[in-house]
Structure 1
Amino acid sequence: MGYVDGEAGLGAWRYRRTRDPMLLLIDESTEGQEYGMVIPEKRNRMMKNRKRDATVASLVNLATGSWDAQVVTELLGVDAMQVYEDITNEALGKIWTWKGILPRVRTFLWRAIHGALPTAAWLHARIRDINPVCKRCRAENEYLMHLFYYCPVSQATWQAAGLTLNVDDLPLNFTKTLLTVTQTMDERQTVNYCNLLWEVWKARNREVFEGKKTQPLGILKQAKSMEQAVTTPSSNLTRTRVILNRIPRGAKTILIDASWEPSNKTGTTAVMVFDEQGGLLEALSQAMVTNDSFQAEAIALLQALQYVESNSTHTSRCPYVIFSDCKTLVQTVNQQCVDELPSWKARQTIAQCIVIWEQVLHTTSLYHTRREALTQPHLLANGIRKANSGSTGMELVRELGIDLQLLSQFFVFQ
């Protein structure tokens, strides 16, 4: 019998072929419960040339971390792939539209949906010397579902929060569970639920790496403090943002943002260039097909860097300051490393960004800022996606009534 080689988004599965024409799926997360799946005769013949006992690794392209579409189509049928993609796209679309969730929690959920959280089982699939067993309960392998729902420590947290989750009724996949649990919740309950997931993850890391145990009530207290941070009066936050977004005198400012529609995988980008006095100099916009919102953000940055490159000459090298609300993107380009990205589909675009970045590094700075500071490009990116007039760039800026001056409550020249 093959051993589980990672979750890869659909749960902790291993499989083996039984008598024709059946494929037996064995779910490790429910103590080896078996599910039989009828395989059409054509695909069953294809399986005869494969090993009788195989692992989930043979369903995954380890170079990219994604499902091997050809193998999965042969073994399980294209419908299985389509269901997985639909669930993933639905979840990705929701986490970026839920209001009141802090950016770091959104990024955490995004990584969890992509199966990129380094659980013990996830690490074991890549480094065999690492023990896959949960270090908190030492009862089962630490997959996502075990970490957040099956582990007795996590279950105690949910009970303390007044949210009783019957693990027997939960889907076997983290993404599907996220959609199922939040389906009947209002906006505030959804925010609290996501904050609790984040705090459970942090408590787990403290216990594993620092040996510090956090009681369920302590986890709840931390989650409530996050809710209070979101509801802090905007006047207090504004004073902080002014300090964070400082622009050198004589530099041009570029604000970038992107919008993504998961239903048709359409992304729109907005790049707004402001002159040395903070007046809008140029607005660039584009609509294209993208795999996810992260790739759309990367394309927006690529357009900004291409603008800087094309407007920089040996005789005139005006400094530029670029602001993005995607912290992962900013860190990746500044560190010039694409190996640890949560979305492998954006790596090629970001690699192009890094090539240009190396050429304009002496005149250009790239910083992360809060989303509220990027109101102007955010409105433009959404306007492109919703507009029927066909206008783009400066024309659409005027049609939407977007402010033509850099917002002084978020940016100051020094």
Structure 2
Amino acid sequence: MIIGGDELQQNALGIDWNLIWQCKRVIPKVKVFLWRLLHKGLPLAVNMHTRLVNFDPMCQRCLQENEYEMHCLFFCNTSRQVWFAGQLGIRVDELPLQIEQTIKQAIENLDEEGWIVFANTMWEIWKERNKAVIEHCAFNPQQVLQRINAVLRTEPVLANVIYRNEGISLQEKYEFNAQAWQVVVDASWQVGGRSGGAYVVFDGGKTHSVGLHYFQTEDPFHAEALTLKEAVEYMYDHVKVPTHMMVQFCTDCSNLVLAINQADTADLPTWRPARTVHNLIMELGNRQAELQHVKRETVGPAHDLANLAKRNAINYRDSHIWYCSNMG
């Protein structure tokens, strides 16, 4: 049993949902994914076939079997590779044939750490499956494993460096506009070019997600510019903030703010940061976006995460906040 509770709620599937909902170290969207999975709510090929008769129920990754829940997440050849090579070393041939029994067995037999790995593995396989089927990209088991490992490495640090904002307005803490998105950006650089960058995203004053990136670059200014570039791409390509909504990007790098806001790259150290800044000028100029210079203490959480990315060569994003403690 993973997490105990005074009142255990059983549903028709025989799964104790208290054990899932109360596990703070499983992010909310993974919990919602599990609920949809167990209630036939995912757009798997078999589920779509029941709604649209002409929809092909075949798995588009292997073209060997209909794509139902267990096939998609466990039995398809690419999914098998993830489970076998992952931390749990699961041989999928030994699993039940029904998804309900598989998840129930995992809840009952794995400890809390094992359940976190199990739940995140299913989620990352599902995301990679969507890229393969919808975007026609090759399913990459190695990338799935790297993302899972990044989650597990960053999890303890996130508990200490991300401000949870439980009922506390970001506007009150940092004097930002709580009606807009805010993205706090920072980078960490060391001699030799090893760099880390991170951003913390706030939606209406509430923590939303984070990103961590590892770079090899020639100077600290370029590390700051590359981190801002990653944050801009994340907001408009991944979060998909509408073009009419305001996004405030906040950094303690005054030279970067000056170069972008004045559209002047003449005094930048080399051509590489000049090119990055030029692209940022073009990108932000087409958006409802502001770039602001803030005090060093304001970017504290992003700074700590940037150091983590630099030390451990971590690349990760879309880590929605789940159990982070207050930073008072």
Q: Normalized against structure 2, the TM-score is what? A: 0.47
Q: Normalized against structure 1, the TM-score is what? A: 0.38
